[in-house]
Structure 1
Amino acid sequence: MKLSAVFILLILSLDVTAFSMGDAINIAGRQRMLSQRITQTYILRGIQPEAERHEKVFTRSIQDFKQNHKKLDRFHGANKVKNQLLIVQKEWEFFEEIAQQPVSKENAAELFERSNSLLSAAHIYVVKLQQLAQHNSAELINVAGRQRMLSQRIAKNYAAKLWGISPEDAESGLQMDLSEYSNRLNQLLDSPFNTPEINNNLHKAKDHLSYASRGFDGEMKISEKRQIQVITGTTDLMLRNMNIITEQYAELLNSRE
């Protein structure tokens, strides 16, 4: 029994030790994205209650947020900013309570607002981690990670507008997010730290944004059901591609630690 306990403690110790600042910024940035992805899929469950995919993504995203928070809570390298992680935890508790309620427009509107508060708290935590890292590549992880969030906030605002949830805020937010996503891509493309692989993935992200914008601009003459598939499918491509880029930037920081 004593040997087993020592072995478990050793494994936990190794897990924390192997967790780098680059990894922490990457994972903390994912929490921003998940706040928007959960809200998006909650709304989509109301628009398309028969679609099993929305339910699966919703459930998996909640699980991911909780697992990520546990990892960040164990990271000793960020003890100086632990208070901000506690704020994120409190915002998450408020958010999750609403998210677990039956799907309705009233609950969706409340979750829409609460997602912005959770996002803000999570973003502040990412910035504090970036400051602890004290290296330019940490900013790149933050910005690339924010692109993941923007891909899902774009989809969230699109879904909210479609279902009549805070339509004015959703419309203005959608346009601002599309503009920011494009501007941030150009910022990343200008980075002297980029490898050829990173640049290649960034150009893919530009292509994804261009295709998604056609749907928002009404250029695609397709049914609402098909448009939802196109928009959510394309923003998911944007998410996956930016996730790869964020991990590539995290590797750059890890190699300098």
Structure 2
Amino acid sequence: MSRPLALLRAALVAVVCLIAFQPLLATAQVTDINSAINKAGRERMLSQRMAKAYLQLGQKIDVVRSQRVLDESIALFDRQLVELKKFAPNAQTRETSLKLEKAWIAYKDVLIGAAPSRERAPEVLTRSDEVLGLAHQLTGEFEALSGTPAGRLVNISGRQRMLSQRMAKFHQAMNWNLPAGPLRTELATARKEFSDAMAELETAPGNTDKLKRDIKLASQQWFFFQNALDEKGLDTLTRATNVATTSERILEMMEAVVTGYEALK
């Protein structure tokens, strides 16, 4: 795909996605510090989810859904970044938002500048982590302004969303035979961090009954996701498709958990 056509497709997709989000736009603005923590944390997740989708498209894994995930994630990242920049309450968060915007422009250029390819995949991995680092920094700055247990739990549970997509990203990169050494280590680290944080969330003081149910559902999906990551008895395409599917399911469950913590004061 030529660059002009790629840019045109991305622009059209963004319009379609914004139309799809239209019912949410009236209430989607950042309204308080917990909302800011949630959305900055979601930018962390999207940085990894887009890379996952890119790697899946390059390998023809779950193509229709992977394209939808990539397109919708790009549009959502753009929209949320505008909201976060507008909300940023001090010089530090404004500066970090601008740095994040600069890194995002470079990352998006790689994502949409040409059709997914194994040659460009390493740069996608690098850019995804640059955006992740700045989004994580911004999330932490918002949490510090919150200074409440609820703000911390929004951050922790929101980071679980990111880790779910990060694990899938690493799996799909190894599936494509990209350099496996660091990826395997990073995957193991992300798995441990996810397990440790789930244990903390399960025992967090002040969990409502609904939060307890949602965390239990997320833990069940974590079991299935781990099975998909560990599967060795299937062909590579089926294994990678299972990872693509289960990573989206656990993301959905963790979104419900984050929403529950965001509502706490």
Q: TM (normalized to structure 1)? A: 0.87
Which of residues 205, 220, 231 is equivalent to 1:207? 220
3-state secondary structure, aligned to 2:120: helix
Deviation at 1:18, TM superposition (A): 6.9
CA contact under 8 A between 1:34 and 1:149: conserved in structure 2?
Answer: yes
Given that 2:157 and 2:201 are in contact with CA atoms closer than 8 Å, whether structure 1 keeps it comes out as yes
Distance 1:185 1:16 in 2: 27
Q: Could you tell me whether the CA contact under 8 Å between 1:22 and 1:250 is conserved in 2?
A: yes
Corresponding residue for residue 101 of structure 1: 113
Partner of 1:192: 205
SS at match of 1:252: coil
Shift, 1:49, TM fit: 6.8
- The aligned counterpart of 1:4 is none
Q: The residue matched to 1:191 in structure 2 has which SS?
A: coil
Q: Identify the match of residue 116 of structure 1 among 111, 117, 129.
A: 129
Structure 2 unaligned residues grouped into runs of 5+: 1-25
How many angstroms apart in 2 are the aligned matches of 1:117 and 1:200?
A: 34
Aligned to 2:140: 127
Match of 2:42 among 18, 30, 34: 30
Is the radius of gyration larger for structure 1 or structure 2?
1
Indicate conservation of the 8 Å contact 1:21/1:77, yes or no. Answer: no
* CA deviation after TM superposition for structure 1 residue 217, in Å: 2.3
Alignment counterpart, residue 139 of structure 1, candidates 152, 155, 168: 152
Indicate the RMSD between aligned Cα atoms, in angstroms. 1.9
Aligned-residue offset at 1:218 = 2.8
User: CA shift at 1:205, angstroms?
Assistant: 1.6
Normalised by the length of structure 2, the TM-score is: 0.85
1:233 aligns with 2:238: no
Show the counterpart of 1:47: 59
Tell me the amino acid that sits aligned with residue 241 of structure 1: M
- The percentage of aligned residue pairs carrying the same residue is 26
2:154 equivalent to 1:165 = no
Instruction: Return the letter of the residue paired with 2:123.
Output: E
Aligned partner letter, 1:88:
L
More displaced 10-residue stretch of structure 1: 88-97 or 17-26:
17-26
Which SS does the other structure have where 1:106 is aligned? coil
Residue 69 of structure 2 corresponds to 57
- Provide the residue aligned with 2:234 in structure 1: 222
Q: Distance in 1 between matches of 2:88 and 2:61?
A: 42
* Cα distance in 2 for residues equivalent to 1:159 and 1:18: 33
- 1:109 Cα offset (Å): 0.7
Distance 2:217 2:143 in 1: 26
Aligned to 2:81: 69
Q: Is the 8 A contact 1:45 1:54 kept in 2?
A: yes
Deviation at 1:223, TM superposition (A): 2.8
Q: Deviations over 1:189-217 (max 9, x none)?
A: 12102111111111222221122222222
Q: Helix, strand or coil: the match of 1:165?
A: coil
**Distance in 2 between residues matched to 1:145 and 1:17, nearest whole Å:** 18
Equivalent pairs, count: 239
Question: Which 4+ stretches in 1 moved above 3 angstroms?
Answer: 14-18, 76-80
Match of 1:9 in 2: none
- CA deviations on 1:149-177 (whole Å, 9 max, x unpaired) are 01100110010010022322221111111
